[in-house]
Structure 1
Amino acid sequence: MIKDAERQEKDEILHLWKLCYPTQDEAYLRFYFDHIYDDGITVVKKQDDLIISSLHMNYHVMNFHGKLLKCSYLLGASTLPDYRRRGHFNALMESMLDEAEHNCLISFMKAFNPKAYARYGFEVVYERKAYTIGKAYLHGIKPLRVFDHATAEELLYIYKQFTKRFDGYHVRDIKYYELLLEELRLGGKQLSVYRNEHREVKGYVISTLRKNEVIVHEAVYMDSAILKRLLKKALGVHEEITLVVSKHEHIEKVFPLAIPKKQPYLMARINNYQLFNKLYNGKARNVKEAFAIVRKPLWNHEYY
C-alpha cells in the first residue's frame, strides 16, 4: 500500500534512512529530521506492518534563465534490503512524480546513480569538479581577516552577490542560513569567513574533516585571493584539502598543477515540456535542450 507518511512514522523512516545510507553522518540525519523533514513530502510503501520503502521531496525556488521557478528536489530513496528488486520503489517514484507534475516545472535529484533514473526522464545537467590542493600550494598564504563566524544576514548577502555570476541556483533566504548555522553548531561542519578591512563579509567556505581529510563542499567568494585565504584557514594543520566547485570555476588558473576530477552531481526532469516551452518561447524536446537556453554557467550545491 502506497500512502503519504504520517507523523508517527517519522522515527521508522529515519531508521530506514540510516540503514540505507550507512555512511551519512548520524548527527546530520537527526538534524534533518528535526528541522527540515517536516517541510517536505514523504510517500511510503507498507507491507508486513513495516515501511519497506520511502521517498522524500522538498520544494524550492530556483533562478532559471531570468525567471523564478518552483522546483522539487527528490531524495531519501530507501528500500529495506529484503524487499529490493521487486518494483516497490518504482511505484513510489511514479506516485511522487505525479505529485511533482501538478506543482512544479522541473524536478531534481542527486546524480548518484544516473542510469537508474534515466527511465523516469532524469538526465545529468550539472557536474562539479573536485581539486586536491596540497599544503605546498598554499605556502606563503596567510589566513588574514578569516574568522569562524558570521550572521545569517551576512552569509545571505554574499551568496546573493556571488550567484549573480551564475544561473540555476536556489533562491536562499534567512531561514536557510539560520538552519545552516544551527547545523554548524553540531560540529560536523566548519565555517570559514573572510572579512575585508571594513569588516564586510566577502566570502566563505563550508568544510568537513573526515579521517584526516578536509573537504570544502561549498565555496562562495568574490575573487581568487579571498579563496586562497579561506582555503588556508580551512586546511589548518592538515596536508591537503579537497575543493569542490562547479565545473565552470577554473581553479586550475589559481592552482596550475591541480588536476580536477569531474563528478556528476545533479539530474533534472522537465515535468511539462509544453508549459516550459511556452514560458521560455522555446522548442525543447529533452532535458539537455531545455537547459541549453541558459546563458550563464550553472551553479547549484544544494543537497536537500
Structure 2
Amino acid sequence: MTVMIKEASLEDKKQVYELWKASYPSQNQNYLTYYFKTLFDQGTCLLQEQDNKVISSIQMNEHVISFGARKIAIAYLLGVSTLPDYRRRGHMRTLMEAALDETSHNYLFTFIKAFNPKLYAPYGFETVYAHRHFLIKSEELNKVSCLHTQKEATASQLLYAYKRFIVKFDGYYIRDLAYYERLLEELELKEKRMVVYRDPVQGVCGYLIYQIIKDEIQVKEAIYQDSISLMRMLKAISEPEREILIEVSEKEHLEKIFPLAIPKKQGFMMVRVNNYELFNKYFNKQVKNAREAFEILKKPLWLHEYY
C-alpha cells in the first residue's frame, strides 16, 4: 500500500498528538498538551499516512545558536515516532531521509537529542556534546545557607542571569525574552520547579530548573555565577530523604566543591553537518566530521535544549 509523506496540517495535529502520546508514554501529559498548544505550530512536522491515519512523524524546529563570533540558524529534529504496528518496515528511514533533505537545503547543522546514537549514526549524526551528572547527598549541604534564594523571578530577570552565565561558553542557543516567558508558563504545569539566587546588588544572577522524581531531585538546568550561589540554590531545594542529581556541561567541574560526588558522563546532543564544503569555506577549515567542526570553538560547549 502506498505511504504518503506530507507536511502536517491543522487537521492532522490531533492524530500527531495521539501518535506522540503513544510513542512517549513516560512524557508528562500536561507538558505534551502544552507543547502542542504553544510550540508545535512554530515548527514543521513531516508525517506519513497509511490506512487513513498518521503512522509516523518527525518535527523540525528552527533555532539560532552562537558559533564562534557568528549566529547560525540550525534545525532541531524531535518527535521521531511510529505507531507500534507499523514499526520495522522502513517508515522512519523514509521520513528521516525526507527531513534531512529538507534541512540540508536550509541549515548548516541539524541537531537531534542523543537518545539512541546507534539509531541516528547511519544518517551522519555524531555525538558532539555530553552532560556530566553529579549525585549529591543532602548531608553535603548541611553547612550551606540558602540565603538570598527565592522561588520567583520575571522573564527579563531570568534572561539577564542566562546572558551573564553563558558568556563562558559557546554553541548555545540564543535565548530571548519570549523563551523565558514560555518557561514560566511551563512551570505553571507543576512538572518542573524553579529556585533563583537574587544577589542584593546585582539582582537575579542564577536559577535552577528541577523536578522531583521518586527519591531524586533532578536539576535539569543550572545557571549560576559562582560556587556560593550554586550551593545555596541546591540547599534551598534539598530534602533529607532525597539525593540531588544535577546535570551540567562537561567543563563544569562540580567535584571541586562536592568531592564525594563522582561524575557520570552521558551523551546529550548529536549533530549532523549538512554541507562540509560550505562549512570549511565559511570557517576556513578542513574538518571531516561534526566533532571536528565543534572542536574549532575556543570556548566549551553548553547545550541544554530539549526542543
Instruction: Tell me, yes or no, whether TM beats 0.5.
Output: yes
Equivalent position amino acid for 1:138 in 2: L
DSSP-derived class of the 1:85 partner: coil
1:216 aligns with 2:219: yes
Distance 2:280 2:237 in 1: 44
Equivalent position amino acid for 1:81 in 2: P
Distance 1:236 1:153 in 2: 29
Distance 1:8 1:221 in 2: 43
1:248 aligns with 2:280: no
DSSP-derived class of the 2:255 partner: helix
Match of 1:127 among 125, 130, 143: 130
Residue 200 of structure 1 deviates from its aligned partner by 0.1
Contact 1:46 1:53 in 2 (8 A): yes
Distance 1:199 1:282 in 2: 41
Match of 2:92 among 79, 89, 93: 89
1:238-273 superposed Cα distances (whole Å, 9 cap, x missing partner): 431111101110000010110011110000000111
Counterpart of 1:186? 189
1:21-72 superposed Cα distances (whole Å, 9 cap, x missing partner): 1111111111111111100000000000111100001000000121100001
Distance 1:246 1:147 in 2: 24
DSSP-derived class of the 2:292 partner: helix
1:280 aligns with 2:277: no
Counterpart of 1:303? 306
Distance 2:177 2:239 in 1: 29
DSSP-derived class of the 2:167 partner: helix
Match of 1:53 among 45, 56, 61: 56
Distance 1:282 1:158 in 2: 34
Distance 2:298 2:78 in 1: 28
Equivalent position amino acid for 1:98 in 2: D
Counterpart of 2:206? 203
**Which ranges of structure 2 fall in alignment gaps of 5 or more residues?**
none
Q: Alignment length, in residue pairs?
A: 304
Contact 1:107 1:270 in 2 (8 A): yes
DSSP-derived class of the 1:294 partner: coil
Equivalent position amino acid for 1:45 in 2: Q
Equivalent position amino acid for 1:229 in 2: R
DSSP-derived class of the 1:141 partner: coil
Contact 2:68 2:298 in 1 (8 A): yes
Equivalent position amino acid for 1:209 in 2: I
Contact 2:65 2:71 in 1 (8 A): yes
Counterpart of 2:47? 44
Distance 1:72 1:224 in 2: 34
DSSP-derived class of the 2:248 partner: strand
Contact 1:214 1:238 in 2 (8 A): no
Distance 2:182 2:156 in 1: 12
1:77 aligns with 2:77: no
Contact 2:139 2:240 in 1 (8 A): no
DSSP-derived class of the 1:302 partner: coil
Counterpart of 2:118? 115
1:61-90 superposed Cα distances (whole Å, 9 cap, x missing partner): 000121100001000000011111111001
Equivalent position amino acid for 2:44 in 1: I
Distance 1:188 1:142 in 2: 26
Contact 2:63 2:74 in 1 (8 A): yes
Distance 2:232 2:79 in 1: 36
Contact 2:109 2:272 in 1 (8 A): yes
What's the TM-score once normalised by structure 1's chain length? 0.98
Match of 2:237 among 221, 225, 234: 234
Q: CA RMSD in A?
A: 0.9
Distance 2:241 2:18 in 1: 34
Contact 2:138 2:239 in 1 (8 A): no
Counterpart of 1:102? 105
Match of 2:269 among 266, 269, 284: 266
Counterpart of 1:154? 157
